[in-house]
Structure 1
Amino acid sequence: MVVEIDNEELERRAAITLECGGVQPMHNLFYTYSVRYSAERAIAAFKQYDYLLTQTNDASTLISEVQEAILHVGALSRYFWPSPSGRKKDKQQRALRMQRGEYLKNLYKLTDDSPLANRELRNAWEHFDEKMDTYLLTQMAGSFFPSPIIGSHELADSPTGKIFKLLDPEVECLVLLGQKFFFAPLRHEVERIFPEFTK
């Protein structure tokens, strides 16, 4: 049963947790398990992608598996670099999220130079519908490729080619709405932090 707590009490409790460094000791295990789950699922999806590369050249299948991995990487990233957004009156709760991120970055020895800190690919997937709205409003002419394709990422360099989704397995590049995302650094970072899941 979930107990309803008013915002004033949530703010008070967040202030207490801030004094503990962002995570209360008895809650550490909850964050640890959650972080490990996202990492394990991301690595499993990348492994499945590797396997599928040997079994099929179906663009939708392969891109879907990369998307699965990136969504888990995005979930993992949010533990370390939480969104600063929120209601202005929730000052302590917003501060708590940011401090929790710092606590977990220290715990997992991450810096802001980590590929996980880059939100571009994560946001491209999470807001694909909005990005497509804008893309279609700004691209008035050319050859449109709405179906997922496998090929060289250099196809996206053509000024007349309008590529919605392209996967270049050779260099581990995903092109979404003409924008290139090299996902190997994300994969390597997750595998570096959690080598036990790569076995």
Structure 2
Amino acid sequence: MLKLGAAMLDKPELERRAKLIVTECDGIQPIFIAFYIEAIYYAAERAEVAFANFAEGAKLAQSASATVASAQEALGHAAALSRFFFPVEKKALPRARGARLRQLFAVSNNSPLQNRELRNAIEHFDERLDEYLLGDIAGYILPSPMVEDSDFADETLGHVFRLVDPKTKTFVLLGKKYPFGPMHYEITRIAELSRAMR
């Protein structure tokens, strides 16, 4: 049972309501669209602020840890934003809601937010580190966060755990490069649109 306010809703009632919202409202009741816009605005605006902190940190040559943390924070908010448009859950209601929000915000199916590779690499860093360390590791091991040219990660005798390249907007995790420039642009676009919708 789910408690909503004073009402208790059992699973069959929740499923019945979800089905109605999918079939009658394209995934979101019209009176509740404002709540989704506000949630999307929050995630996009927080990502914008973190990206601005990242750019400022890189420009002022702040500590690598702080600069990488700002980029990682922005990408974490991007992951939250992504789930509104491309929900992980395969049930009908989240799928319909995602499709409706993609329509409202003109988010295409090939949006950078749809790609889960970087998001998963950050969210599951611990598991990927476990696997990475199972390999044959020799040479320089650089576990501390770095702000460098992403080509530095191509060095065959080195192992870069976490690096960000402000010029190319590339995040490197465990030697693998993930460009995030297009995602940054998409987040800015969505933030501006959600700001106008509020």
TM-score (norm 1): 0.88
What's 1:70 paired with?
75
Q: Distance in 2 between matches of 1:129 and 1:11?
A: 36
Provide the C-alpha distance between the structure 2 equivalents of 1:114 and 1:23, rounded to a whole number of angstroms.
21
Instruction: Classify the secondary structure of the residue corresponding to 1:194.
Output: helix
Residue 34 of structure 1 aligns with which residue? 39
Q: Does the CA-based 8 Å contact 1:57-1:150 persist in structure 2?
A: no
Determine whether 1:13 maps to 2:17. yes
CA-to-aligned-CA distance 1:102-127 (integer Å, 9 cap, x gap): 00000001111111111111111111
Partner of 1:59: 64
Structure 2: 5+ residue stretches without partners: none
> Could you tell me the TM-score, scaled by structure 2's length?
0.89
Instruction: Tell me the SS of whatever aligns to 1:187.
Output: helix
- The answer as to whether partners of 1:172 and 1:182 remain within 8 angstroms in 2 is yes
Q: Provide, for residues 49-99 of structure 1, a one-character-per-residue CA deviation record: whole Å limited to 9, x for no partner.
A: 1222233341101000001100111111110000035xxxxxxxx111011
Query: What one-letter code is carried by the residue in structure 1 that aligns with 2:97?
Result: R
* Structure 1 residue runs without a partner (length 5+): 86-93
- Cα drift, residue 149 of structure 1: 1.6
**How far apart are residue 143 of structure 1 and its match?**
2.0
Name the aligned partner's letter for residue 7 of structure 1: K
Answer with 188-197 or 64-73: which moved more.
188-197
The counterpart of 1:117, out of the listed 98, 114, 117, is 114
Q: How far apart, in 1, do the equivalents of 2:10 and 2:140 lie?
A: 55
- Aligned partner of 1:90 in structure 2 is none
| Correspondence for 1:189 | 186
SS in structure 1 at match of 2:81 = helix
State the partner residue of 2:165.
168
1:108 matched to which residue of 2?
105
Q: Which residue of 1 aligns with 2:55?
A: 50
Residues of 2 paired with 1:53 and 1:141: CA distance?
30
How far is 1:185 from its partner? Answer: 0.9
Is 1:80 matched up with 2:77?
no
Cα-Cα RMSD: 1.7
CA distance in 1, matches of 2:43, 2:30: 21
Q: CA deviation at 1:4?
A: 4.2
CA contact (8 A) 1:148 1:165 kept: yes
The amino acid across from 1:23 in the alignment is: I
Q: Distance in 2 between matches of 1:8 and 1:57?
A: 54
